[in-house]
Chain A
Amino acid sequence: TQLLEQSPQFLSIQEGENLTVYCNSSSVFSSLQWYRQEPGEGPVLLVTVVTGGEVKKLKRLTFQFGDARKDSSLHITAAQPGDTGLYLCAGARAGGTSYGKLTFGQGTILTVHP
């Protein structure tokens, strides 16, 4: 079983602060995705990283895939109240049957106070 551990589980910060969310596993993934979910809605894909060491930026969000493709981080610069939500990482199975099947982390609930 491939497990993904996210930390922290909860994050409550003031507008303008920076934050980092971590996603770790002992398993290797072919790719890793980050989703954002708002209350009453389904997760929305933010980014997919596919190469070890890859860094992708999406405005104030920076995503990094670990060199060994076992971990990832999401860094938000100057957080805004609109960033509030549940952030989920998901790793795609690297091989075998059900190649590409996603395993989700437990999620990080981010609250940004004005």
Chain B
Amino acid sequence: DAGVIQSPRHEVTEMGQEVTLRCKPISGHDYLFWYRQTMMRGLELLIYFNNNVPIDDSGMPEDRFSAKMPNASFSTLKIQPSEPRDSAVYFCASSPGLARWGYYEQYFGPGTRLTVT
């Protein structure tokens, strides 16, 4: 079975440009998570969806960031306009749901390495 698919794997863009990152979760998983990883801040949750509906977007750094999930098999994270401090690896993860003991078994994609110059 295919795991979580992310595209592109690498993105280099200039400051001020719009960037769109894409994610295809594992089929049948109802939850989708977007994370950002940097050396300074580690792995941070940006936003997560349940059945295509955003549940918690408190981690989205500012209005320049937006995420959508138009259907169960596709999500996007958009940054407009991009800034050098947005440079990071962005991960998408999916989960079948909240387990009985109150945790998500998350499956991560390979990530998109974003560099904003």
A residues lining the B interface (CB < 8 Å): 30-31, 33, 40-45, 48, 50, 88, 90, 92, 94, 97-107
Contact B43 A94 (CB under 8 A): no
B104 to A98, Cβ gap below 8 A? no
The answer to whether the Cβ of B34 comes within 8 Å of any Cβ in the partner chain is: no
Set of chain B residues within 8 Å of A105, measured between Cβ atoms = 42
Q: Which of B45, B56, B101, B108 contacts A97 (CB 8 A)?
A: B56
Contact A42 B42, beta carbon cutoff 8 Å: no
Chain B residue, CB-CB nearest to A43: B108
> Is the CB of B106 closer than 8 A to any CB of chain A?
yes
User: How far apart sit A98 and B108, CA to CA, in the bound complex (Å)?
Assistant: 19
Does B103 contact A31, Cβ atoms closer than 8 Å? yes
Residue among B48, B93, B98, B108 having the largest count of chain A Cβ atoms under 10 Å: B108
Number of interface residues of B (CB under 8 A): 24
Instruction: List residues of B (90-117) whose CB comes within 8 Å of A's CBs.
Output: 91, 93, 98-99, 101-111
* C-alpha spacing A105/B43, complex, angstroms: 8
Chain B: minimal CB distance from A43 (Å): 5
Q: Looking across the interface, which residue of chain A has its beta carbon closest to that of B113?
A: A40
A88 to B45, CA, bound (A): 14
CA distance A30 to B4 in the complex (A): 26
**Is the Cβ of B108 less than 8 Å from the Cβ of A42?**
yes
Of A88, A103, A104, which is in contact with the most chain B CB atoms at under 10 Å from its CB?
Answer: A104
